[in-house]
Amino acid sequence: MEKTPLQNWIAGRLGVSEASLTRESLIDYQLKKLRETLDLAINRSTYYRKNLSKYPNKLNRLEDLLQLPFTTSEDVRNNPLHFLCVSQDYINRVVTLQSSGTTGKPKRLYFTKEDQELTIDFFHIGMSTLVGPGDRVLILLPGQLPGSVGDLLARALERFRVKAIPHGIVQDPEKTLKIMQEEQVNALVGIPTQVLSLARYWGGAINKYQPQLKSVLLSTDYVSQAITRQLKLSWGCQVYGHYGMTEMGLGGGVECQALAGYHMREADLYFEIINPTNGESVPDGEEGEVVFTTLTRVGMPLIRYRTGDLARFIPDRCHCGSILRRLSPVKGRVRGVYQLPAGPLTIGELDEVLFSVAGVINYQASLSNENGKDILNIGIFMNHGENGSIFDAIRRNLNTIPSVYHSEKKGCLGIKLLILSEQLKSTAAKRTIKDLRKSEML
């Protein structure tokens, strides 16, 4: 098994050989970069000058970072320009993220050309685990605009003579499968539910098209084990996971050949795991909220940014032999835990049981209240040719979730299933459970 290529890349960033890279040398580098980032932010950013002025700006060790306040999504949403450390003339790309609410302000992130080059570097090295010169990669991510995720990924692949085929969000599975056939695609990058729809459409099309895939990279959303298993079963390929978000500069971590957690982009980002309730650090191996600080960004650095994602650091060294830290697959969102009468429910739990049912390609879930009784509403997007007979399988699987089973058994929860459409819901947004119970009680 080959070591993650991120290790050699990060060693080069530190100016040392891969063999001499140690956790100690990496920590020294990160501490130096944290000091530089703090100095930049306090001197150039209106927001950080105001909010960090009462804190010591000299870090003697990484633990000193814990004294600094967190940056939240709301902070960025309310004062995006106050985070800038360069003139807007130097901004090469502005990304606007809409709020999940109907009236919330959009969130804007600003990146210089240099910031985006660092993302391309990470994509280049990370993708070398999956593909090599001569391979042909279909990119099922937004890529029409310069600087978009699909565009940066295509530019990264071109660096090592991999043919990038930008496609965008899947609108018509049959058309996409035909493109895969005509372009002789042997690798995919896409959103988990979208790639699943291709696999299940292909499986139900009497193998009209014959994809010859060797690898798939899933990104932008929670990656369920159920989807990974289905893709491996359908196409016989390796399925890798990527973790990142726009605030990180898109790239955060990627799996190696061991497929045992994300190796992190530690030359550009410093990660923490905290208790989401009290904000204190948690030990390696314990689940908490992912927090990061940018180490090399110049346009809009972020210090101790709370992602809202729940994961844990994996304490053991990876089987690939790398000294880089690993993050577990994200289990859900801090605000994505919904209380049923008999316990909590998460989107991750629903993913595992629903995507295990043949024919399900996506779903929408909400919680409502009728006459004092909680109702779990699930709208199913099914593969072409499937019918409502899968409801029995869905109900059986839902009852494997303890909070659902016990709430229903107590008579405190009802389940309503509905077939929404045979068409794939085309969206790159992360899925959530909509909790309508409070609004109905007003």
3-class secondary structure per residue, 64-117? HHHHCCCECHHHHHHCHHHHCCCCHHHEEEEEEECCCCCCCCCEEEEEEHHHHH
Q: Exposed, middle or buried: residue 349 (CB in 10 Å: 0-12, 13-18, 19+)?
A: buried
From 419, 395, 418, select the one nearest 408 (Cα to Cα): 395
Tokens at residue 34, please?
């944290």
Residues 283-309: tens digit of each pLDDT? 999 999 999 999 999 999 999 999 999
Give the pLDDT mean for 149-163: 97
Lowest mean pLDDT among 41-55, 97-111, 169-183: 97-111
Taken in order 100, 106, 107, 108, the sign of the CA dihedral is positive
| Residue 291 near residue 271, CB atoms below 8 Å | yes
Lowest mean pLDDT among 200-214, 328-342, 351-365, 369-383: 200-214
Residue 23 sits at φ, ψ, to 5 deg, of -60, -35
Residues 22-32: tens digit of each pLDDT? 999 999 999 99
Distance CA 384, CA 201 (A): 7
Q: First vs last Cα of the chain: how many Å apart?
A: 58
Q: What percent of the chain has pLDDT over 70?
A: 93
| Residue 193 near residue 362, CB atoms below 8 Å | yes
Q: What percent of the chain has pLDDT over 90?
A: 80
Read off the DSSP letter of residue 320. T
pLDDT band at 58 (very low <50, low <70, confident <90, very high): confident
Report CA 119 to chain centroid distance, whole Å: 15
Tokens at residue 82, please?
């106050």
Give the pLDDT mean for 84-93: 97
Distance CA 316, CA 171 (A): 41
| Residue 7 near residue 323, CB atoms below 8 Å | yes
Mean pLDDT of the chain: 92
| Residue 340 near residue 349, CB atoms below 8 Å | no
Tokens at residue 181, please?
């056939």
Q: Per residue in 420-434, is it b (16+ CB within 10 Å) or e — as a string?
A: eeeebbeeeeebbbe
Q: What stretch of H or E contains 292?
A: strand 288-294
What pLDDT, on a 0 to 100 scale, did the predictor assign at position 43?
95
What pLDDT, on a 0 to 100 scale, did the predictor assign at position 420?
83
What pLDDT, on a 0 to 100 scale, did the predictor assign at position 201?
84
What pLDDT, on a 0 to 100 scale, did the predictor assign at position 389?
76
From 297, 293, 332, select the one nearest 117 (Cα to Cα): 297
Coil, strand or helix: which one is 121?
helix
Tokens at residue 242, please?
């990527």
Enumerate the β-bridge partners of residue 380.
363, 419
Residues 214-246: tens digit of each pLDDT? 999 999 878 899 999 999 999 999 999 999 999
Amino acid at 101: G
Distance CA 346, CA 354 (A): 13
Per-residue pLDDT for 430 more than 90?
no
Beta strand pairing status for 305-311 and 332-333? antiparallel
Distance CA 169, CA 190 (A): 8
Residue 422 sits at φ, ψ, to 5 deg, of -90, -10
Domains of the chain: 5-111+256-330 (3.40.50.12780), 130-243 (3.40.50.980), 334-441 (3.30.300.30)
Residues 352-397: tens digit of each pLDDT? 999 999 889 889 999 999 988 999 999 998 876 656 678 999 999 9
Distance CA 293, CA 34 (A): 8
| Residue 105 near residue 74, CB atoms below 8 Å | no
Q: What stretch of H or E contains 209?
A: none
What pLDDT, on a 0 to 100 scale, did the predictor assign at position 361?
86
Read off the DSSP letter of residue 71. B
Edge to edge, what strands does the sheet with 288-294 contain? 269-274, 288-294, 305-311, 332-333
Q: Exposed, middle or buried: residue 283 (CB in 10 Å: 0-12, 13-18, 19+)?
A: exposed
pLDDT band at 153 (very low <50, low <70, confident <90, very high): very high
From 394, 392, 389, 393, select the one nearest 379 (Cα to Cα): 394
Per-residue pLDDT for 425 more than 60?
no
Distance CA 243, CA 253 (A): 5
Per-residue pLDDT for 100 more than 70?
no
Residue 366 sits at φ, ψ, to 5 deg, of -145, 160
Per-residue pLDDT for 424 more than 80?
no
pLDDT band at 442 (very low <50, low <70, confident <90, very high): very low
What pLDDT, on a 0 to 100 scale, did the predictor assign at position 386?
59
What pLDDT, on a 0 to 100 scale, did the predictor assign at position 102?
42
